[in-house]
A and B are shown apart, each in its own frame.
Chain A
C-alpha cells in the first residue's frame, strides 16, 4: 500500500534559523496537503498543492510539490517559537475518491 515518509523525524533549531522537512511518497500523488499539530492538539490544515512543480508561500512558509508528484517540502524561514509542533504531509494516491494518507511527521523544536 501507499507509504508516505518524512525526514527528518525531529529537528531542534534556534530561533531565527531556517527549517525544512521533506515528504516522499511511494506512489504518485494527485495532490498533497500539509498540516501542523501543536503538542496536545489536533492536526490543523496549512495548505494544499495540486500541480506538478507547484510552489506556494504563506508568509515565512514555502511549500513545494515535486515535478513527479511523489515528493514535497516545507521550508520555514527564520523560525519563531510559535512554529513549534509536528508538521505532517498528507496525500492522495488515486482519484478524488481515494483516501488521505498522512506522513510520519517532522517534530520541530525551537529555542531562544
Chain B
C-alpha cells in the first residue's frame, strides 16, 4: 500500500483555463474527501464520496468546481475558468468509513 497519491504535485495555469487533478486513495478505503487549504488556514471542505456516490458538496463551492469518482476508486477534481482566488493547496484524503483520514501530499495550484 503506497498511501494516497495525488497528481500533479504542482500546477501553474493562466486565469480562465480549466484544470483537473487526480487522487488515488488507499485501495480498500470507501470514503474519499477533497479539501482546499490556503496558507495559515485549516483544510476547507469541498466535497466527499462514499464509494462512487458524492454525498455532500460544500455550499461555498461555485459551479466551476466538479468532482467525480466514477468507479469508486480514483477521483478527479476539475476547476473550470480558473480565477486567481482558486490558488491554493488541494488535498485529497481517504478513509474506511469514519476512521482516520489519510491525506495525500496535495496539488499546489497557482493561477497567474
Contacts and interface: CB of A to CB of B under 8 A. Distances in A.
Interface stretch (B12-20, B40-48, B62-70, B72-80): B40-48
Given A1-B59, A42-B91, A99 B45 contact: yes
Interface string B39-60: 0111111001010000110010
B59 A99 contact: no
A27 to B, nearest CB: 14
A18 B12 CA distance: 42
A103 B104 contact: no
B103 A43 contact: yes
A102 B103 contact: no
B55 to A, nearest CB: 6
Interface string A32-45: 01010000001111
Contacts of A45: 100-102
A48 B103 contact: no
Contacts of B56: 98-99
A58 interface: no
A44 B42 contact: no
Interface residues of A, number: 24
B97 interface: yes
Interface string A55-97: 0000000000000000000000000000000001010100011
A2 to B, nearest CB: 9
Given A43-B91, A100-B48, A102-B45, 20 more contacts: A33-B101, A42-B104, A42-B105, A43-B43, A43-B93, A44-B103, A48-B99, A88-B43, A90-B101, A92-B98, A97-B55, A100-B33, A100-B45, A101-B45, A102-B35, A102-B42, A102-B43, A104-B41, A104-B42, A105-B41
Interface of A: 1, 6, 31, 33, 35, 42-45, 48, 88, 90, 92, 96-105, 107
Interface of B: 33, 35, 40-45, 48, 50, 55-56, 59, 91, 93, 97-106
